[in-house]
Amino acid sequence: MASYYEIEGGKPLEGHIRVSGAKNAATKQIVASLLTEEECLLRNVPRIGDTKVTLDICKSVGLQYTWSGYEDLILCTPQITTPEVPVAFSGLNRIPILLLGPLIHRYGKAVIPMLGGCNIGERPVDFHIQALEALGAKVVFEEDRYFAIADQLHGAIIELPFPSVGATENILLSAVMAKGTTFIKNAATEPEIIDLVMMLQKMGAIIYVDVDRTIVIEGVSKLYAAKHTVINDRIEAASFGIAAVITGGNVIVEGAKQAHMLTFLNRLRQVGGGFEILDRGIRFYHPGTSLKPIAIETDVHPGFMTDWQQPFVMLMTQIDGLSVLHETVYENRFGYTDELRRMGAEIQLYKQCLGERPCRFRNRDYEHSCVVKGPTPLQAADITIPDLRAGFSYLIAAAVAKGVSQVRGIQYVERGYSNILEKFQELNANICQRQDDSVKIN
Ligand code: EPZ
pLDDT in tens, 278-292: 999 999 999 999 999
43 CB neighbour count, 10 Å cutoff = 15
Which tens digits make up the pLDDT trace of 126-175?
999 999 999 999 999 998 899 999 999 999 999 999 999 999 999 999 99
388 ligand 1 Cβ < 6 A: yes
The pLDDT value recorded for residue 144 is 86
Whole-number Å distance, alpha carbon 192 to ligand 1 midpoint, is 12
Going from the N-terminus, what domains does the chain have, and what CATH number goes with each?
4-19+251-439 (3.65.10.10), 23-219 (3.65.10.10)
CA distance 189 to 361: 22
Q: Which residues pair with 131 in a beta bridge?
A: none
Residue 113 dihedral angles phi and psi, to the nearest 5°: -75, 170
pLDDT the model gives residue 441? 47
Report which of 416, 421, 419 is spatially closest to residue 431, judged by C-alpha positions: 421
CA of 374 to the centre of ligand 1 (A): 30
Q: What separation in Å is there between the alpha carbon of 376 and the centre of ligand 1?
A: 32
- pLDDT confidence of residue 114: 81
Is the Cβ–Cβ distance between 441 and 432 less than 8 Å?
yes
- Residue 11: the pLDDT is 96
Helix (H, G, I), strand (E, B) or coil at 121: coil
The pLDDT-based confidence of 115 (bands split at 50, 70, 90) is confident
Which pLDDT belongs to residue 131? 98
pLDDT at 123: 81
Mean pLDDT of the chain: 95
Residue 357: pLDDT band by 50, 70, 90 thresholds? confident
Which residues lie closer than 8 Å to 166 by C-beta, 6 or more apart?
94, 97, 98, 125, 128
In this prediction, residue 118 has a pLDDT band, given cuts at 50, 70 and 90, of low
Report DSSP letters for 307-354, one per residue.
GGHHHHHHHHTTSSEEEEEE--S-SS--TTHHHHHHTT-EEEEESS--
306 lines ligand 1 (CB under 6 A): yes
The model's pTM: 0.96
Could you tell me the CA-to-CA distances from 176 to 102, 181, 316 in Å, in that order?
9, 9, 43
Which atom of ligand 1 lies closest to the CA of 188? Answer: 24
User: What local confidence, expressed as pLDDT, does residue 116 receive?
Assistant: 65
Q: Is the pLDDT of residue 117 over 70?
A: no
When pLDDT is averaged across residues 417-431 and rounded to a whole number, the result is 97
Instruction: Output the residue whose Cα is nearest ligand 1's atom 35.
Output: 118
Helix or strand (DSSP H, E) at 140: strand 138-142
Q: Does ligand 1 have an atom closer than 6 angstroms to the CB of 166?
A: yes
Residue 17 has pLDDT above 90, yes or no: yes
- Judge whether residue 440 has pLDDT over 70: no
Query: Does 422 contact ligand 1 (Cβ within 6 A)?
Result: no
Alpha carbon of 248 to ligand 1 centroid (Å): 33
Angle in degrees, 0-180, between the axes of helices 191-203 and 165-175, rounded to the nearest 10: 10
What span, in angstroms and rounded, lies between the C-alpha atoms of 127 and 288?
A: 47
Phi, psi of 396 (to 5 degrees): -65, -45
Task: Flag whether pLDDT at 65 surpasses 50.
Answer: yes
First to last CA, the chain: 18
Dist CA 393 CA 100 (whole Å)? 34
Q: Is the pLDDT of residue 223 over 80?
A: yes
Q: Is 126 in the pocket of ligand 1 (CB under 6 A)?
A: yes
Instruction: Specify the ligand 1 atom closest to the Cα of 389.
Output: 22
**In Å, how far are 77, 206, 326, 426 from 297, measured between CA atoms?**
42, 34, 5, 33
Please report, as a single letter, which amino acid is at residue 372. V
Q: Looking at residues 384-393, what average pLDDT do you find?
A: 95
Per-residue CA distances from 145 to 74, 84, 87, 110 (Å): 30, 10, 8, 10
Confidence of residue 381 (pLDDT cuts 50, 70, 90): very high
Say what the pLDDT of residue 442 is. 41
- Is 118 marked active-site? yes
- Please tell me which residue in 40, 58, 118, 370 is annotated as part of the active site: 118
